């Protein structure tokens, strides 16, 4: 057994990792591209559904277990997945890694497809109208996942095959899974950050600030929005799939718009919209506070007369209100896009004019 503070740190880290991934994807769409993504839960849930439905079925088919509609029935699902974990995944680290990566790729593809479909309303509607439409999409998928049993077991949910089983069971598995999760989160952070600095990211910001100006400079608005939604959706789906793998079970019920759309919004607003490092800080603050509230809820209950769960809502609500009132740019405001130094620009200009003078 590990000392309790290690569990606290692991809890903070895993919350941090999953919300960092989801909030970064939200930041790409909302902070960079200016699309009010009120349906973040759509892609996250799609990723979780892929993790719950695809890898287990593949292995069940391979070892001759039920893999059709019965797979999602909780009566069959638990023993099948238990057998998969014990007989297939535990002794085969290589296969486990393969299954993990394969599922993430499939999840990313599905998230990307959903992002592409979201670009249909995103090109026709604006601001709040678009936000509400995207929110409707997210809710619709949750309702289907919640009630359509053959997909992921409806209200009972399904057990997700455990690719971390080969690390062991108990403490070492928790540590390993958390570190792998964190590794993916950091990789995605680096990817999104470099994407933001690339010509593509700058074009997104230009589009956000003035669509007309971006079009005048030859940027294709349709394509930019589409790609922002596709990449954002793919990243969020990877986050959802990783979360389902970590949790070991997948219930569509738990993927609600509050946790997976509005909380990432609050984290992003706190840290700084349009700034990945701000998002990093915002998510870190929030996941630390959330884990502390969760761990010390009994101690808290003796100090304040309300249940700590509601304290969490009040906290998130107040942060949203106070940030939008007093510091709309967030803790760490977005920096102007990196550009070439002034001297360098003047040197180039000099070179061009001197060339013209020669000619």
Partner 1 sequence: MIDVLLTAIAYSSGLALAAAGITIIYMSTGTFNFAHASFTAWGFYVVFSLFSLMKGSPYYYMILGGLFGGVLGIATYYIVNRWLLRAGADMVTLMMSTLGVDLVLFAAINIFADYLTYTYHFNPRLFVLSSYDFKLGSLYGIPVSGIVLVSIIIVVIIIAILQLFLTRTKMGIAMRATIENAMLATVLGINPELIYVLSWFLGGFLGGLGGAILSLLFTGTPNIGMLLIVPEFAASIVGGLYSVFGSLLGGFLIGISQKVGIALLGKWLGGWIIVYEPLIPLLIMAVTLLIYPKGLGGLPWGKIYKRLFKGGE
Express the helix, strand and coil content of the chain in percent, nearest 5 each: 80, 0, 20
- Of 127-135, 198-206, 217-225, 276-284, which part binds partner 1 (CB under 8 A)? 127-135
Q: Does 150 bind partner 1 (CB under 8 A)?
A: no
Total residues in contact with partner 1, by rule CB under 8 A: 39
Minimum Å gap between C-beta 318 and partner 1 is 6
Please return the burial class of 308, using the count of CB atoms within 10 Å of its CB with bins 0-12, 13-18 and 19+.
Answer: middle
Which member of 143, 190, 213, 222 binds partner 1 (CB under 8 A)? 143
- Of 15-23, 110-118, 178-186, 301-309, which part binds partner 1 (CB under 8 A)? 301-309
Minimum Å gap between C-beta 297 and partner 1 is 14
Tokens matching residue 224: 């930019």
- CB within 8 A of 40, min separation 6: which ones? 22, 25, 26, 138, 236, 260, 261, 264, 265
Which member of 8, 58, 144, 221 binds partner 1 (CB under 8 A)? 144
What are φ and ψ of residue 17, in 5° steps?
Answer: -60, -50
Query: Judged by CB, which is closer to partner 1: 2, or 258?
Result: 258
Which member of 9, 95, 113, 132 binds partner 1 (CB under 8 A)? 132
Q: Does 120 bind partner 1 (CB under 8 A)?
A: yes
Q: Does 209 bind partner 1 (CB under 8 A)?
A: no
Treating both helix axes as pointing N-terminal to C-terminal, what angle do 127-147 and 93-124 enclose, rounded to 10 degrees? 140
Angle at the Cα of 272 from the Cα atoms of 184 and 107, rounded to 5 degrees: 30
Treating both helix axes as pointing N-terminal to C-terminal, what angle do 4-26 and 171-197 enclose, rounded to 10 degrees? 30
CB atoms within 10 A of CB 332: 17
Buried residues in 311-320 as b, exposed as e (16+ CB within 10 A)? bbeeebeebb
Q: Write the interaction track for partner 1 spanning residues 25-64; mark x where CB under 8 A is met and - where it is not.
A: -----------x----------------------------
Under rule CB under 8 A, which residues in 218-247 are in contact with partner 1? Answer: none
Please return the burial class of 309, using the count of CB atoms within 10 Å of its CB with bins 0-12, 13-18 and 19+.
Answer: exposed
Q: Write the interaction track for partner 1 spanning residues 250-289; mark x where CB under 8 A is met and - where it is not.
A: --------x---x--xx--x--------------------
Tokens matching residue 232: 């954002």
Query: Judged by CB, which is closer to partner 1: 97, or 322?
Result: 322
Rounded CA separation 310/346 (Å): 58
Minimum Å gap between C-beta 354 and partner 1 is 46
Which member of 190, 210, 328, 337 binds partner 1 (CB under 8 A)? 328
Contact between residue 350 and residue 293 where contact means Cβ atoms under 8 Å apart: no
Q: Is 158 helix (H, G, I), strand (E, B) or coil?
A: strand
Rounded CA separation 189/330 (Å): 19
Which member of 301, 306, 337, 352 binds partner 1 (CB under 8 A)? 306
Buried residues in 264-288 as b, exposed as e (16+ CB within 10 A)? bbbbbbbbbbbbbebbbbbbbbbbb
Minimum Å gap between C-beta 214 and partner 1 is 18
Which member of 124, 223, 327, 349 binds partner 1 (CB under 8 A)? 124
Under rule CB under 8 A, which residues in 308-327 are in contact with partner 1? Answer: 309-311, 313-314, 316-321, 324-325
Q: Write the interaction track for partner 1 spanning residues 165-204; mark x where CB under 8 A is met and - where it is not.
A: ----------------------------------------
Binding footprint of partner 1 on the chain (CB under 8 A): 36, 120-121, 124-125, 127-129, 131-133, 136-137, 139-140, 143-144, 147, 258, 262, 265-266, 269, 306-307, 309-311, 313-314, 316-321, 324-325, 328
């Amino acid at each position: 057994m590990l000392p309790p503070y290690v569990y606290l740190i692991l809890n903070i880290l895993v919350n941090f990792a999953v919300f960092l991934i989801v909030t970064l994807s939200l930041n790409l769409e909302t902070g960079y591209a200016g699309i009010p993504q009120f349906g973040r839960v759509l892609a996250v849930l799609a990723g979780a559904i892929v993790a719950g439905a695809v890898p287990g079925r593949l292995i069940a088919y391979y070892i001759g277990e039920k893999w059709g509609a019965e797979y999602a029935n909780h009566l069959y699902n638990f023993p099948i997945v238990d057998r998969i974990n014990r007989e297939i995944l535990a002794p085969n680290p290589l296969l486990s890694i393969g299954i993990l990566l394969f599922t993430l790729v499939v999840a990313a593809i599905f998230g990307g497809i959903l992002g592409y479909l979201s670009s249909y309303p995103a090109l026709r509607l604006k601001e709040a109208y678009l936000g509400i439409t995207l929110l409707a999409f997210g809710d619709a998928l949750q309702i289907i996942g919640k009630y359509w049993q053959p997909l992921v077991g409806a209200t009972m949910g399904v057990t997700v095959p455990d690719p971390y089983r080969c690390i062991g069971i108990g403490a070492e598995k928790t540590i390993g899974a958390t570190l792998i999760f964190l590794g993916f989160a950091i990789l995605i952070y680096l990817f999104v950050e470099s994407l933001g600095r690339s010509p593509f990211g700058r074009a997104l910001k230009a589009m956000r600030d003035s669509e007309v100006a971006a079009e005048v400079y030859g940027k294709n608005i349709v394509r930019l929005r589409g790609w922002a939604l596709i990449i954002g959706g793919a990243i969020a789906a990877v986050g959802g799939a990783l979360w389902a793998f970590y949790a070991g079970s997948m219930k569509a019920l738990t993927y609600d718009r509050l946790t997976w759309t509005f909380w990432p919004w609050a984290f992003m607003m706190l840290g700084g919209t349009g700034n990945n490092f701000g998002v990093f800080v915002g998510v870190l603050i929030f996941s630390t506070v959330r884990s502390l509230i969760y761990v010390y809820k009994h101690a808290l209950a003796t100090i304040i007369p309300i249940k700590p769960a509601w304290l969490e809502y009040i906290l998130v609500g107040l942060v949203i209100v106070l940030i939008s009132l007093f510091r709309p740019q967030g803790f760490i405001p977005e920096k102007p896009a990196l550009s070439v130094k002034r001297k360098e620009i003047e040197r180039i200009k000099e070179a061009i004019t001197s060339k013209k003078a020669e000619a």
